[in-house]
Amino acid sequence: MTFPKKVCTPYRKLFFLSLIWTVLFILMIPAASSVAGAVSSPVHTEVQVNLLNLRTGPSTAYTRIQGLPSGTPLEVLFQEKEWLLVRLKDGTTGWVDGKYTGFTSNLADKLPPVIGEKATVTVNLLNVRLGAGLNYQRINQLHLYDTVTVYFHEGDWVLIRLGDETSGWVYREYTSFTPQAAGTEPQIPDINAASETPPSAPHQQLTSAEEEEQYPYHVIVTSTPLRLREQPQLNSTPLGELTKDMVLIVLDKTKEDWLQVELPDGRQGWVAGWCTQKLEEDNKNSEKKGTDPLIRLAAVTADILRVRSGPGLDYTQIGRVFCGNHLLIQQEQNGWYYVRTPTGQYGWVSSEYTTPVNIVSRGNSSAKAYDVTQYQNITVVIDPGHGGQDKGATGISGLKEKNVNLTVALYLEELLRARGFNVVMTRKNDTSLTLAERAALAEKAKADLFISIHANASLNNKYASGTETYYYQNKKTSPQSLYLASLIQQEVSAALKLPSLGVKKAPFHVLRETSMPAALVELAFLSNAVDETILASDHCLKLAAEALYRAVLRYYNLNQ
């Protein structure tokens, strides 16, 4: 139908105006939604070199996941200096060096904001994966109460940053992270509190047995930075910062899970207990059974044994140990040992390629009721090496040789005096003595035996381990000195269960300048983390003293 010109003109104008407004309204809807979507729209770039390594962390020091050829598309999630946290098309997440991609500074403003919340792990052995799903490769495992930083949340999974700065995906349900409700502001973490922020997941309720915890016991630092504090509270004065994997002696514990600890260098203070993990030790259980506490070692029998991040062959290799090395066993699981290696590293090794060794007391060296007048004419000089300003060697965790030597010497003195021997100590406290003064003191006392106690160290070989004993071969009493050294070597190496490095000749001043039979024992190596742990154990130092006591008794053909 056609309208006369005069009739249709106003309707036509109205029709066109309505049409224009309708089109504008329709156009505005997608425009508005596209602007809103731009805030969270993915930022893409691609690889611009022939082969670019994808890594678990933001530097070339981290493990290589795979190589990416030129042109590989990347979704950029986060930037740290020149490094980019990216996701591949298959969902794999990792870090690449941004300068080898098409990423530019103007794209940085378009990156999605990270959540940034601290979260704690609420189960033991939580798998960390390369992508948000069970089908992705496992690259790490977290322990109960480990602290992580949440970057992104996606369905049932969260992308986290670990304490060692690597990244990966974990199942959200097994963390304390709770997604923010829509429209609420994300919680900003307290940077100063760092990983000391108490976990939002409740700790396990203590049983009556745990409430009666037997002190001291050992824990290992699992989250950093962890501060040693003057008092058990976050606002207390920091006394220092502790490194991950440092072993601490726990002296006391509050209901709020603050631990009073002693560091390897002797310092004391308080740390957040939720940033540590108790080391499994047999001391408490063995005491309940009426037996001596023990330290468990594993002697490596394979030429090369891999240290892994978890108890199985599918876990990442994180180190190596070698035939003859002694490892400190912390835990055992399905044919695998969680150990501390000679270099101080913690990890898992297959028990199939080790021989377990327990350091326990022989139980027959304690002082008994003897006729103490029978041996009072036998004078034994005990010489704790070093002292005062002369610390001697220092262990990798800060243990000082002078303190080890003195502790063993005092225990040995007690045993010998109880048996009736006349004992002369070159020092009974932390004082300085020259070598000449030590030898002169032994000569003045007209000693029958001279025993110098030391701990060893190697600057060039951190795997060096074991016991060795020295004598001087060019004096009248050298045959007797050799016999004494041989007995000491047999007893001490057997007691500490470390490699026997044998009896050796050396012109040490205290051996050369003393006229009586004399021997110098090097108990173990402070430069070896396992040996140092043994020397840090009061129980093991008592065993060393008992071994020296037995050597003296054997020298004089006395019953034990």
Please list the active-site residues: 522
Query: What DSSP string runs through 544-559?
Result: HHHHHHHHHHHHTT--
If DSSP codes are grouped into helix, strand and coil, which group holds residue 332?
Answer: strand
- Enumerate the H helices of 420-471 as residue ranges: 435-444
If DSSP codes are grouped into helix, strand and coil, which group holds residue 46?
Answer: strand
- Rounded to whole angstroms, how far apart are CA atoms 435 and 451? 13
196 burial (CB, 10 Å; 0-12 / 13-18 / 19+) is buried
If DSSP codes are grouped into helix, strand and coil, which group holds residue 256?
Answer: coil
Strands (DSSP E) found in 273-390: 276-278, 295-300, 304-308, 317-322, 326-333, 336-340, 346-350, 354-359, 379-384
Amino acid identity of residue 14, one-letter, is L
Residue 362: how many other CB atoms lie within 10 Å: 14
Supply the DSSP symbol for 400. Answer: B
If DSSP codes are grouped into helix, strand and coil, which group holds residue 278?
Answer: strand
User: Under a CB-based contact definition with an 8 Å cutoff, are residues 517 and 477 in contact?
Assistant: yes
Q: Extract the tokens encoding 140.
A: 């790490």
Contacts of 455 (CB under 8 A, 6+ apart): 385, 392, 393, 401, 404, 405, 522, 523, 524, 525, 526, 535
- Rounded to whole angstroms, how far apart are CA atoms 206 and 441? 55
If DSSP codes are grouped into helix, strand and coil, which group holds residue 270?
Answer: strand
- Rounded to whole angstroms, how far apart are CA atoms 392 and 127? 44
Q: What is the dihedral of CA 168, 171, 173, 179, to 10 degrees?
A: 50
User: Under a CB-based contact definition with an 8 Å cutoff, are residues 260 and 270 in contact?
Assistant: yes
Distance, first Cα to last Cα, the chain: 129
User: Under a CB-based contact definition with an 8 Å cutoff, are residues 327 and 337 in contact?
Assistant: yes
CA 549 from centroid of its chain's CA atoms: 35
User: What are φ and ψ of residue 23, in 5° steps?
Assistant: -65, -45
If DSSP codes are grouped into helix, strand and coil, which group holds residue 321?
Answer: strand
Q: Extract the tokens encoding 392.
A: 């001697």
Contacts of 391 (CB under 8 A, 6+ apart): 400, 401, 402
Amino acid identity of residue 285, one-letter, is N
Q: List C-alpha distances in Å: 559 to 205, 287, 410, 550, 552.
A: 52, 28, 22, 9, 11
Q: What is the dihedral of CA 135, 137, 141, 144, to 10 degrees?
A: -20
